[in-house]
Amino acid sequence: MPTVNVFKDVLFKALGREYSTEQFEELCFEYGIELEDETSEQEMVKKEQGEEKAKGKSNRGIYRIDVPANRYDLLCAEGLSRALKVYVGNAKPPVYKLVQPAGGKVQKVTVLPETAQIRPHLVCAVLRGITFDQDTYDSFIELQDKLHNNICRKRTLVAIGTHDLDTLKGPFTYEALAPTNIKFVPLNQTKEMNAEELMTFYESDRKLSKFLHIIRDSPVYPVIYDSNRTVLSLPPIINSNHSKIALETKNVFIECTATDITKARVVLNTIVAMFSQYCAEPFTVEPVEIATPNSTSTHRTPDISSRTVEATVGYINKSIGIHITADEVVRYLAKMSLSATLSSSRKSVSVSVPITRSDILHACDVMEDVAIAYGFNKIAKTVPRSITVGAPFPLNKLADFVRRELALSGYTEVLPLILCSHDENYEWLRRKDNGEAVKLANPQTIEFQVVRTSLIQGVLKTISSNKAVALPIKVFEVSDVVFKDESRERKSRNQRNMCVVFASKTSAFETVHGILDRIMAMLNVKLVSPDAAQDGYFIRESDNPTYFPGRCAEVVHKALSIGHLGIVHPEVLQKFEVPFPCTALEINIEPFL
Amino acid sequence: MSQESIQTDILTRLDTDGSIADTAVLPYASDLILGVLNSLLSKEILTYTAIKGEKWVLTIEGQEVASGGSPEVALFNLIPSDTGFAVADAQKQMGEKAKIAMSNAMSKKWLKKQGDQLVRAVDSVADQVQADLINIQETGAFEDARALQDYKRRKLVSAEKITSYSVQKGERFTTNVQKEATEITAEMLRTGEWKDQTFKKYNFNAEGIQIRGGHLHPLMKVREEFRQIFFELGFEEMPTNQFVESSFWNFDALFQPQQHPARDMHDTFFLKDPAVAGEMPKDYVERVKQVHSKGGYGSIGYGYDWKYTEAEKLILRTHTTAKEFRPVKYFSIDRVFRNETVDATHLAEFHQIEGVIADRGATLGDLIGILYNFFRKLGIEKLRFKPAYNPYTEPSLEIFSWHTGFKKWVEIGNSGMFRPEMLRPLGLPEDVSVIAWGLSLERPTMIKYSIDNIRELLGHKVDLEMVMTNPICRLDKKMGREI
């Protein structure tokens, strides 16, 4: 969840009253945001850089507020206070308007076909006659950062550039050129460099280095020029120093380049909706004409027309489980900054979705807003009508029987992890990698390289970290192992195994054999002789590299091997750093379902 | 020395002298004496009081000096009587002891320095230190307090606490101690001997003998309690024995867009082998693709280029959310995987508890109602719901409960109604809604059993003693962190 810092005084002014921390916390909770912390610049600097650096910093109160990840309109103080102001009934939501420039000629950008190779989409807008002060200017920069980190997915999907329009001369072109052919002075630098040099230059930059990979290996880099061939920006890396905006900037040119056009529109709409508030005529936006390569006609951005979503009053009431009238629905939606009109039959509402609410995809989103405005905690508690019968998953029930019998037999349950290293699953158990294990592509450590194909390694690891416990150590695990299985859609299957290990001063084959017999007896599986054609189980001598030669048997059930028991090979014990003899049993319990 | 002979000695001394002022005079180890005294005390043959004392003993270094002499004397003996001896050579010969030897010999004015040479200042010296230490070794004490402090500072001696006892006759004093029996034996029953036998007094304050039986893991004990609650509420357990899942079923089918951060390499374990899923149900995949990229069922969708190559990637499931519904109540408690950095509260694996209800006309009020029922069985009465965001539920509600100990609302789980964009492509009728909630199994377990580090609960670093000694789990009773 993104966190937004808002000055308390700004917020309280918007809300028309002061709030105590508890009151504000309550308001946030009901609306679906969370008051994370109450602080000030001084306190934040103190926490991060120490008392000395904090001296002289402002102690103006700041609320740190967590907002939902899909509400981009709440990512800045402007949007957050606007939404809460409407929610508490202190204002009506603004109506955004497109306006033509004074001369009547809108700015124009031509998108050249080469951009399709690297970053095909562009949307732009102009904010005229803007008045920033330090707070609003900071907020403007901060919002771009927040958008870059969230919806823009660290600039991969969308990158924003904002420019002082008065330093530029349209029309503009959006091009894709070889890096060495792009030359400009990057933002806050003094030296001109080409794009290739620029990449090297920013390699060590803490903030920008993480974006370089987005275009670095491409033969062409995206770039925006004005009619004098002045570079505006090299998206998604950096703007040029020439057109940089400042506190005094009056006219702002906004460009968003993207690989995802839907998100580019949302980002541009969010910026203009938030900051058109400071335009000479508030909430007005000047469009920009975009000429795209594949179309003979041009189109204008931003598109600030509102969408309409229909929802019946019956659907809303039935989904939430309340009984409110159509008028109440309209009133609740107004609290959530959504203007709705009733149909003539008064059975449904038509909601006009403003550009700030890209999160509304379906009538269910409208229903949720009604529920929030109504108050989740005021909804009457009911229970579902259908009668149902409880039942366990049969395999879990079987596993629980086996677990209980093992515990009743004096063994202690352990619960190691399911992921392990490749060595633990193979080499340390003296097994060859036969390709049956599922392997991970992106583990952060070698502890998590494969999904285990047996339980014994985890049990041995547990014994190894419990060497101080009095001998004998008698432990078990009943859980899943995973094998690759080409015949299935997920190319793999789980198998429920049972593993018992007895660790003591001497090996104890008969003891563990006794556990096998006990579990089989409890599962009502008969011991049969190897040559008899009866259903049942028996054990026979077997070779298994994990176990000591001549001290290993396989467990056979209905003519199929279901696992092994034996004295663990000393080389295995050495790898797992277990200093005393271990006798183990591991079988698949699924045949007993 | 047998316990019996010590007992005889003590009783004889008491009989002749009436009391023993200090058992320190007896030639037995203090713990042996205490054993005998306690045994006789329980029979009221004697009483005793402890005398706390101190005894000086030699350190390892002190023992060396006592047997081989002090370093300053060793140094003095190195220096020839008629000529000097280079400081460097003294250091070479005596090693690290040279420094202390030199400083002591100088301060005692045995030696003096001439340039880099050491020469004798007296003709001969006596090793008083060695003599003193031998004395201390034998008596455990030393008269000269200043010298003792000096030896302590030089780490040659240290004080050791000792306990001895002053012993008096008890009410039932006798030198003829009858052998008392501890337990009734089969033999006594057969012979009737139990009638005349005197029995040893029990110490009812002692602990019982520790049981070494079998034990279930605490996390599984808590799991069992949750399972019972679900059964009591009429829930059926879902099959969840499939850790490997396709991105399609784990994310796309839940209407989670392909660029969602949860689908990052940083959050999800992708597979190298096998890497992609086999054939998935074609029609359904097409419906999911449509609803993501273009919308449908009344939704505008996410408006992005949905890729099959992203959907077919195999992963380790990040949740256990069900994807098939008939009017039913389902639950599951099973392992899920997240590619997270491991710390005290995060593991790459944990258990997710999930409840799902699919029913015609199920409402948000039903969800809230069932959550009250569910959490009441956990002993939690006070709940509150906060609007939240989750890509596959709308509305989404975070569940908070009032923590009486912390005196504040704490988040205990997540819940919501599944979005139509998820349900309708599955072919569910429009009037069926699905409500669900989830929480982790580890968190309530850590609270119940006061465990701070998740790695001490799940995984091979678990302490077996912890598994063996933790009580059974009763979710409706307060224990551990809740108190």
User: How high is the pLDDT of residue B1?
Assistant: 64
Concatenated DSSP letters of B103-143: HHHHHTTSEEEETTEEEESSS----HHHHHHHHHHHHS--S
Q: Which of B223, B121, B115 is nearest to B445 (CA)?
A: B223
More confident residue, A172 or B29: A172
Interface of A with B in 280-319 (CB under 8 A): 307, 318-319
Per-residue pLDDT, averaged over A260-271, amounts to 95
Predicted local distance difference test score (pLDDT) of residue B482? 67
SS percent in chain B: helix, strand, coil, step 5: 35, 25, 40
Nearest to B328 among A372, A388, A416 (CB): A388
- Three-class SS state of A382: coil
Q: Which helix (H) or strand (E) holds A391?
A: none
Highest mean pLDDT among A566-580, B3-17, B322-336: A566-580
For chain A, what percent of residues have pLDDT higher than 70? 100
Q: Closest partner residue to B462 among A29, A415, A439, by Cβ?
A: A415
Hey, is the C-beta of A29 within 8 angstroms of any chain B C-beta?
A: yes
* Res. B248: pLDDT tops 90: yes
Q: Give the ipTM.
A: 0.89
* Nearest residue of chain B to residue A393 (CA atoms): B237
Extract the tokens encoding B481: 């962190």
Contact call for A391 and B219, based on CB within 8 A? no
Closest Cβ opposite residue B217 in set A413, A444, A482: A413
Nearest to B245 among A406, A462, A490 (CB): A490
Mean pLDDT of all residues in chain B?
A: 88
pTM, full prediction: 0.79
Which one of B255, B364, B441 makes the best mutation probe of the A interface by having the most chain A beta carbons within 10 Å? B364
Express each pLDDT in B197-212 by its tens digit. 888 878 888 888 877 7
Q: Rounded to a whole number, what is the distance in Å from the CA of B363 to chain A's nearest CA?
A: 5
Q: Which residues have CB under 8 Å from B299's CB, separation 6+?
A: A361, A362, B291, B419, B420, B421
Window B:238-277, CB contacts with A under 8 Å? 238-246, 259, 261, 265, 269-277
A362/A355 Cα distance (integer angstroms): 15
- Report chain A's mean pLDDT, rounded to a whole number: 94
Residue by residue, DSSP assigns A211-237 as GGGGTTTSSSEEEEE-TT--EEEETTT
Is the pLDDT higher at B477 or at A166?
A166
Closest CA to B442 of B356, B335, B339, B363: B335
- Is A362 in contact with B298 (Cβ distance < 8 A)? yes
Nearest to A101 by CA among A72, A129, A143, A78: A129
| Residue B217 at interface with chain A, using a CB cutoff of 8 Å | yes
Asked if B270 and A29 come within 8 Å (Cβ–Cβ), the reply is no
Name the band, by pLDDT with cuts 50, 70 and 90, for residue B28: confident
Percent pLDDT > 70 in chain B is 98
Instruction: Write down the pLDDT at residue B483.
Output: 60
Interface of B with A in 283-342 (CB under 8 A): 295, 297-305, 314, 316, 327-329, 332, 335, 337, 339, 341-342
Residue B445 clears pLDDT 90, i.e. is over it: no
Interchain contact, B465 vs A474, CB within 8 Å: no
Alpha helices, H only, A308-362 = 313-320, 326-335
Partners of B210 on chain A (C-beta within 8 Å) are: none
